[in-house]
Chains A and B, each alone.
Chain A
Amino acid sequence: MRKISKIIVTAMAAALLPAMAAQAEELISIGFAQVGHESDWRTASTKSCQDVFSEENGYDLSFVDCDNDEAAQKEAVRSFIEQDVDYIIIDPIIATGWDTVLTECEDAGIPVIVIDRTIDDSDKYAAWVGSNFKTEGLAAGEWLAAYAEKQGIEELNVLTISGSTGSSAQIGRSEGFNEVAEKYGWNLIDEQTGDFTEAGGQEVMENYCKSYEGQFNVVVCQNDNEAFGAMTAMDNAGVTYGPGNDVILISYDACTAGLEDVKAGKITADFECNPLAAPFVEEVIKKLAAGEEVEKEVYMVEHWYALEDQIVEFEVDGEAQEMTLVTDEVIEAQY
C-alpha cells in the first residue's frame, strides 16, 4: 500500500515538475523598488505596475515598498540581483549614489528601467520612463495664451503657487510656464511655494489676496491639492474663479478630485501628470526582449483637461495639442 502511494506521488511529481519548470520559464520575472505610498499619485503608480505585470500577462512581479528609505531601496535592488530577476524597475528616492548598485546590476546582466524620478550620477540603466514636466508647463502656458486670445483678455497678471522648491516637478513646470510667459510678455507678479499641500495653497493664497488685491487675473497652482486650498482662500476673499469669472485657475496633476472641480466649473484647465508608467515600461521590456534599440528617455503621453468652452487649439514645440473634454466617464476612468 505504502509502496503504491509512494510510486503515485513520485509519478505525479515527475509529471508536474517539468510543467512547473516550463511555467516558471514562461513568466518574465520583474523586481520593482517603489518609493513609498505618500500620495494618491504614488498609489496609482504602484497599482498600474501590479495590473500590467500580473501573472495573467505573463509576468512574475516582486514588489518592494521602500517607505522613502533610500538604504532600503538599494537593499531591495541587491535582493533582486540575488533572485536573478529578468528586469529591475526603480523609482529612485534620491537622484545620486546609484553607480555602485547599477554596476552590480550590469555585471549580473539585468537591465534596469528607471521610472518617474531621475538618476543623475550614473547612466548604467536601459531607459528612463517619466513625465516631461517642462512640457506640462509649456502646455499650460500655450493654452493660456490661446484661451486669453479667444476670450479677448489682453493683460495677464499671474500669481503662481509652486510645488516643493527644488522638486523636479516644480522646476520643470515653472521653467516651461515662465518661458511662455516671457514670450508673450505676461506680468508674473509673484511665486511662493505651497509645498504641494492644501494647507500650503490656502495660506499662500490668503496672503496673495491681501498683497495683490484686484491686481491678478490668473492663478497657477502646481498641483491639485494646492488648487483646493487656493479655492477656499479665494472664496473667503470674495474672489470668483473658474470659467467666466475674475480669475483663471490653472492646475496640474489632474487627479479624480481635480477633474471633478474642472467639471464643476472651478478649475479652468488641469494638466495631467500621468502616474501610469507601467504600460510604457512594458513596451520598453518587449523591445529589450526582442533585442531592439530603446530610447534612453521615454516620455509618457499626458492629457490636458478642460470643459468645452475652454478647449482651444494650441501648439507646443510645433506639435498640435489635443485637449480632453471632462465628462463623468473621464472622471470615472481617472486614477
Chain B
Amino acid sequence: MNKNSLWSRIKGWSLFLPVMSLILVMAVNIIHDIAVGANPLSFFMITLRQTTGNGTILYGRIIDILNRGSEVAILAIGMTLVVSSSAGTDISVGSVMSLCASFCCMLLAGYGVSSTSTLAVPLIVGVLAGILLGVLCGVFNGTLVAYFGIQPMVATLILFSAARAIGLLLCNDLIVYVRNDAFGFFGGFCGPIPTPVIIAAICILVVAVLLKKTALGMYIQSVGINSRASRIAGLNSKRIIFMTYMLCGLFAGIAGIVASSRITSADSNNIGLYFEMDAILAVALGGNSLGGGKFNLTGSIIGAYTIQAITTTLYALGVSSTQAPVFKAIIVILIVAIQAPPLKAYFKHRSNAKQLQGGAIS
C-alpha cells in the first residue's frame, strides 16, 4: 500500500512524463551496448581526457549531450516565458542567433575582414554588443506583439526572415572567421567543463531564482491565462508580455554567441538554422501547453536535453544521417502522444477503474 502510494505520487508529479521520456531515450543505449557486447554503461561513462593542447577535459556522451544541448536549453528558457505569457511562439530566435553572431564577429574582426586572429575591438565589447542586439530584437518583437497587438507568429515572422539576411549584410556576404582563442572560450572549455554548459546553467539558475523569489512567474502565468482579467486585477499585461519577448531576445543573443564561439566564426547561413523549431519542441516535450498560461521551466530544459539525447543516441547507434530524421520524428511523436490530454485521461480512467476493482475484491 505504502509502495503504491509512492508510485502514484511519482506518477502524479508534473515532470513524470518528460523525465521518463528522457530516461527511456537513454535506456535505448544500454540495450544497444548489451546487444553488441560492449560495457552496458559505456554510453554513460564520463572520463578525464588529455587533449592535444595539453588540457584535461571531461569526456563522454553525457557530456556531449549537456554540451551540444546548451543552445536549445538557453533558447527554451525564453521560449517558455513567451509561450506562457502570449500563447504564441517566437519563431525568430534562430535567425536572431545568427544575426547576433554575425554582429559580434563583424565587430571583433572589423567590417569587410573575412579572416583574422587578432581582435579589432576588446572581446567583451563584441560579445556584449552581440547580446545587446539580441535584446533589441526582443524589444522589436515585444513591441509588435504587446503594444500593436500583432499575432506573435506574424510579428516574429518579420525577423525570422530578415535577421539572417541582415547578418549576411553585416558580414559582407562572407563567413567571418575569428580564429582567436579568447573568443573560442565561450564554446570551448572552462577548465575541464564545457563553457556552454556553465553558461546554460547560469542562465537557468538566474531565471529560476527570479521566478521563485519574485512574483514574476505568477504574473506571467496569470497574463497567459487571461490577460484582460489580469489587467483588471492591476497587472500591466502589455508590459509583462513585452518583457518576456525581450528576455527571449536576450537568450537568443547568448545562444548565438555560444554557437558562433564553438566554430570561432560567423556562418550566418547556418548558425541557429531550425533552432526555433527545436526550442518550441523543447517546450512541448517538457509537458507545457503551447496555449499559454501555466508553465514548467524545468520541463522545457529537460525537453531541450531530450532532443539532444535523441540526436546523440542516433549517432551512437550508427544510424545513417539520412535516416536519422525519420527516427527522430517517430520518437518525438511517441513522446508528445503519451502526454496528450486524451491519452492521459484514458490512462487515468483505467487506473481509477482498476483501483475500484481492486477495492471491491479486498
Which chain A residues have a beta carbon within 8 Å of chain B's beta carbons? 37-40, 43, 165, 190-193, 195, 197-200, 202-204, 206-207, 210-211, 225, 228-229, 232, 234-240, 256-257
Contact = CB atoms under 8 A, between A and B. Distances in A.
A210 B269 contact: no
Contacts of B51: 235-238
A240 B52 CA distance: 7
A165 B322 contact: yes
Given A236-B57, A257-B115, A43 B173 contact: yes
A43 B115 CA distance: 15
B315 A238 contact: no
Given A190-B318, A257-B115, A235 B263 contact: no
Given A199-B263, A229-B263, A237-B59, A207 B64 contact: yes
A211 B52 contact: no
A190 B317 CA distance: 12
B53 interface: yes
Contacts of B168: 37
B114 A211 contact: no
A197 B316 CA distance: 21
Contacts of B114: 40
B267 interface: yes
Contacts of B315: 192, 204, 207, 211
Nearest to B68: A203
6 contacts: A38-B269, A39-B175, A190-B318, A198-B263, A236-B49, A240-B52
A192 B52 contact: no
Interface in B309-334: 312, 315-316, 318, 320-322
List the 5 shortest-distance A-B pairs measured between CB atoms, nearest first.
A207-B315, A198-B263, A37-B173, A192-B321, A193-B321
Given A39-B175, A237-B51, A238-B51, 10 more contacts: A37-B173, A39-B269, A198-B265, A200-B270, A211-B315, A236-B52, A236-B59, A236-B189, A237-B59, A240-B52
Contact of A40 (B49, B59, B174, B189): B174
B262 A199 contact: yes
What DSSP secondary structure best describes chain A's contact surface? Answer: helix
Contacts of A239: 52
Nearest to A38: B269
A232 to B, nearest CB: 8
A206 B60 CA distance: 10
Given A198-B263, A211-B318, A240-B52, A257 B177 contact: yes
A200 B174 CA distance: 18
A219 B171 CA distance: 31
Contacts of B312: 207
Contacts of A191: 320
Contacts of A192: 315, 320-321
Given A37-B173, A257-B115, A206 B267 contact: no
B179 to A, nearest CB: 9
A238 B267 contact: no
B265 A235 contact: no
A238 B271 CA distance: 26
Nearest to A237: B49
Given A39-B175, A40-B175, A199-B263, A234 B316 contact: no
Interface in B163-185: 168, 173-175, 177
B259 interface: yes
Contact of B316 (A193, A200, A211): A211
Nearest to B312: A207
B50 interface: yes
Nearest to B194: A236
B267 A199 contact: yes
A202 B264 CA distance: 12
A38 B174 CA distance: 7
B263 A202 contact: yes
A202 B322 CA distance: 18
Nearest to A37: B173
Nearest to B49: A238
A20 B177 CA distance: 46
Nearest to A197: B270
Given A206-B64, A236-B51, A199 B316 contact: no
A238 B50 contact: yes
B61 A210 contact: yes
B62 to A, nearest CB: 11
B321 A207 contact: no
A210 B47 CA distance: 12
Contact of A199 (B57, B60, B259): B259
Contacts of A197: 267, 270
Nearest to B265: A198
A207 B52 contact: no
A165 B270 contact: no
Nearest to A212: B318
Given A198-B263, A198-B267, A165 B321 contact: yes
Contacts of A203: 68
Contacts of A165: 321-322
A228 B263 contact: yes
Nearest to A196: B270
Nearest to A194: B321
A234 B263 contact: no
Nearest to B324: A192
Interface string B114-129: 1100000000000000
A38 B114 CA distance: 14
Given A40-B114, A192-B315, A207-B315, A199 B52 contact: no
A148 B60 CA distance: 32
Nearest to A189: B318
A109 to B, nearest CB: 35
A239 B271 CA distance: 26
Contacts of B59: 236-237
Contacts of B115: 256-257
Interface in B46-96: 49-53, 57, 59-61, 64, 68
A296 B267 CA distance: 36
A235 B53 contact: yes
Contacts of A190: 318
Contacts of A204: 315, 321
Contacts of B49: 236-238
A193 B312 CA distance: 14
A255 to B, nearest CB: 10
